[in-house]
Amino acid sequence: MTDLPATEPTPVDRPHYRAPGLFTRAVFNRLVAALTRAGVSVLGSRVLEVRGRTSGQPRRTPVNLLALDGREYLVSPRGHTQWVRNARAAGGELDLLLGRRRAHYRATELADEEKVPVLRAYLRRWKAEVGVFFGGVGPDSSDEELAAIAHRHPAFVLERIPA
């Protein structure tokens, strides 16, 4: 076996992440999080709380909870975000908050080939809000088009853990 020189990962190999803009960070996410903390779900919004992988402190961010065929899912439209990395590091243990209600979950990451129906349903529900992050792929795109972008968008199936 020959030692090959280390190379930079290709764009396909690099984890995809699209940082939120100033308006999203300073206004939109804060507004949705405030409404959700007050107990008002905006189209299925929740506040996700997960232990930070470095600090160990709880980290919160607004997310869209997708209900599909009797199961619940989280999808990261912006790619491999901080909440995704924290959820992985926490072994999938996370909480979803709506007002004073807290639900504890175990999140299991889906393989890319399992994501197509979940991404389609997610885009059907929230394309107006998050469609820009999916590179022109939408709910009416073919299975092949959705499968081609699946690696960019982590998705988790949730299992509720009784309190």
CB-count exposure of residue 118 (10 Å: 0-12, 13-18, 19+): buried
Mean of the per-residue pLDDT values for the chain? 85
> Which residues of 52-92 form beta strands (DSSP E)?
58-68, 71-75
Q: Class of 22-112+156-161 per CATH?
A: mainly beta
pLDDT range class, residue 24, cuts 50, 70, 90 = low
Name the least confident of 24-28, 122-126, 137-141.
24-28
- Alpha-carbon distance 70 to 90, whole Å? 25
pLDDT digits (tens, 9 = 90+) for 37-76: 666 666 678 999 999 999 999 999 999 999 999 999 999 9
Chain center to CA of 53 = 16
H/E element holding 85?
helix 82-89
Q: Are 87 and 133 in contact (CB under 8 A)?
A: no
Of 37, 6, 13, whose CA–CA distance to 100 is shortest? 37
Predicted TM-score of the model (pTM): 0.79
pLDDT at 3 over 50: no
> What was the pLDDT predicted at 40?
62
- Domain positions in the chain are 22-112+156-161
Judged against a pLDDT cut of 90, whether residue 28 lies above it is answered with no
**pLDDT at residue number 13:** 43
pLDDT at 9 > cutoff 90: no
